[in-house]
Amino acid sequence: MNAFWLTVKPLLWQVWSLFVALYPLWVPIVLAIILWDVWVEYVRVKNWAKQKYVLLEIRLPQEIVKSPRAMEVVINSLYNTGGEGNFMLRYWQGNTRPTFSLEIVSDAGHIRFLLWTRENLRNYVESQIYAQYPEVEIHQVEDYATQLVFDPKQNSVWGCRFELAADTPLPIASYVDYGLDLDKNPKEEFKIDPLAQVLELLNTVKPGEHMWLQIVIRAHKNEKRGGAFSEASDWRKEIRKTRDAIFEAIKKEGRIAGTTNEITTVTALGRAYQKYPFDCGIRGLYIVDDKSKFSVPMIGTLTSLLRPFSYSASTFKKAFKEDTLAGFNGFKVAGGTGLDYPWQDFKNWRTNKMRRRIVNQYKRRAFFWPPYKEKTFVLTSESLATIYHFPGETAAAPGLERIPSTRAQAPSNLPI
């Protein structure tokens, strides 16, 4: 053993000496690998901070007879993968593709529809909305979120994120599945619009309370999600794999046709494959101006906002396990700003830190970049139009105020 060590030791010393001697070559490479992702995130956040944004309020008329497909057309127009340019623009100047935020807010039961966008895209966004909804009114308004200053001595905040119940490309049940597409558009009194339930929940918000829902989106691209050396994502490839898994299960069991659930799943996947995909993050806040009036049941109201678009967790998991795949995806609550037991948080330090973080995230509409990067998922324009569209008379929540008259342009042949 001693003889072996005496032979190997000089060789190891020579290798180590060579390794140290060549440090001018390998140290820069190692540092570049470590710091590359940090640099890219830094220049992107720096560029993002220079952008100017506006908040647009869409005021609805008494009647809207169009189906959510009109909103899908509007959301399709927001699919913009440009703006990142070439290598220098992306990685030296930090250019990013546009981000939008679709928001439904309730302040003391007063419900508003809002859209947050870059200032230089305002005219484009307004024109796309007016093209489908010429009767609405669009106004630039002060950003309501910036007025919120979290002070644990005075007010209270509870917030959460919403994620897909299953990490699959399965879409949620859309307005098409609810029979709201143009081909079978029923009369207003017979419509079943899941958004009506969301608005009714927001209508229960009392004076001194606020409930805000924020849907942050950007055009989805096949790109590396875990850093420079990660594998590029391919959402449509995942759809094909999911579809092929269903066909393989049918073939393996020797069946001629699939079950009703399998047919529904394949149909939903096929429709999603043809739609524009968006990276998406959804969060909600419940705020009270006086912390002594904080209502714990309102947390359940907030976490239930997306339940009309979901299935119960137990039903979903059972269907997912026993019948290859559930027909549709759903939502679950994640990242709530609360802890289960009092001894987990001395003097609410951790809870208040989480509340400040989610308030700052909401104000910045941040999901995709540090320091407020969060887990996101992909929704199609059809799914987004199901969650966020301008409802007709079937949504009769009193807090949803409508303008008394419709907007129309003057005739072009008026005498001057």
Check: CB of residue 185 under 8 Å from CB of residue 67. yes
Compute the average pLDDT of residues 251-267: 80
| Structural domain for 94, as ranges | 51-387
In a domain, 21, yes or no: no
Q: Is the pLDDT of residue 223 over 80?
A: no
In a domain, 20, yes or no: no
In a domain, 227, yes or no: yes
Give me the pLDDT at residue 231, please: 63
Q: What percent of the chain has pLDDT over 70?
A: 84
Q: Is the pLDDT of residue 1 over 60?
A: no
- Our CA angle for 142, 148, 154, nearest 5°, is 150
Give me the pLDDT at residue 191, please: 74
Give me the pLDDT at residue 416, please: 53
- CA dist 142 and 156 (Å) reads 22
- CA dist 218 and 280 (Å) reads 7
Q: Is the pLDDT of residue 398 over 80?
A: yes
- CA dist 25 and 370 (Å) reads 31
What confidence tens digit (pLDDT) does each residue in 86-145 have? Answer: 777 777 777 888 999 999 999 999 999 999 999 999 999 999 999 999 999 999 999 999
In a domain, 1, yes or no: no
In a domain, 164, yes or no: yes
* Domain count within the chain: 1
Q: Is the pLDDT of residue 227 over 70?
A: no
Q: What is the residue-averaged pLDDT of the chain? A: 83
In a domain, 194, yes or no: yes
Give me the pLDDT at residue 323, please: 47
- CA dist 212 and 159 (Å) reads 9
What confidence tens digit (pLDDT) does each residue in 54-69 have? Answer: 999 999 998 888 889 9
In a domain, 396, yes or no: no
Compute the average pLDDT of residues 370-378: 87
Compute the average pLDDT of residues 219-224: 83
Residue found under tokens 């644990």: 152
pLDDT-based confidence at residue 316 (cuts at 50, 70, 90): very low
Q: Is 0.75 topped by the overall pTM?
A: yes
Strand partners, 55: 116, 141
> For the ranges 33-37, 132-136, 198-202, 214-218, which has the lowest average pLDDT?
33-37
In a domain, 234, yes or no: yes
pLDDT-based confidence at residue 163 (cuts at 50, 70, 90): very high
- Tokens standing for residue 69: 């497909």
User: What spatial distance separates the first Cα and last Cα of the chain, rounded to whole Å?
Assistant: 108
Q: Which residues touch 8 (CB under 8 Å, ≥6 apart)?
A: none
